[in-house]
Amino acid sequence: MFRIVVAFVLAGIITLGLFFLMQSLIQSGGSALTEPPRGSVLDFVRVKQDEQIEQKERKPEKPPKPQEPPPQMEAPPMEASTPDGQAGGMDFSADVGADVALDGGLALQSGDGEYVPITKVAAVYPRRALQRGIQGYVIVEFTVTKTGGVRDPFVVESEPEGIFEQAAMDAVLKFKYKPRVINGEPTEVAGVQNRVTFEIDG
């Protein structure tokens, strides 16, 4: 019985204490809502300065003057090769000269109907002559056919004899021509001569 009385007394005391605590909180909250805030508030306002935009007029630039084209390079001279592909340490060449027709003078002096050389193959320098440093020439005579080929070549003159003849005729057989045209028809030309020169440079 004593414990129950003590419990009721403590409960009443706690209840009264909570009541007074709530009352004080309500009063303090009301004053906080009604009283104006203390202190001062500073407002910062950024003002943009007037910006001035400068306009620049661009004038089109004059195009640069074109540079002078580079000078044309001269094509290096073609060299004939030996049968084994070696030059023997020396520069050499076999020059095929202009054609001469015995029955019509120079081959290129006539009109449009005359035969014209298209392809001339350089003669192969004989290895024996190249090793010994022998130079010379061969004059070969042949017939230009209706199709522009070469037939029946033979040696007219050679210096020295017995060295360059075969190489010169082998080269002449590979020549190609535009045939001579008479009255609209191709015609053979006999007695055409060509000089093949064999020289060693250096």
CATH numbers and ranges of domains, the chain: 92-201 (3.30.2420.10)
Which candidate, 145, 146, 158, 148, places its Cα nearest to that of 194? 158
Q: Which residue has the higher pLDDT, 181 or 112?
A: 181
DSSP E strands in the chain: the ranges are: 91-101, 105-106, 116-119, 136-144, 150-159, 176-178, 180-182, 185-187, 189-201
Quote the CA–CA distance of 102 and 104 in Å, as a whole number: 6
Q: Which residue has the higher pLDDT, 43 or 136?
A: 136
pLDDT at 175 over 90: yes
Q: What is the tens place of the pLDDT at every residue in 13-29?
A: 999 888 888 888 887 76
Per the structure block, which two tokens stand in for 194?
């060509």
Q: What is the tens place of the pLDDT at every residue in 67-102?
A: 665 566 654 444 443 333 333 334 455 666 767 665
pLDDT at 177 over 50: yes
CB 114 within 8 A of CB 107: yes
Quote the CA–CA distance of 81 and 157 in Å, as a whole number: 24
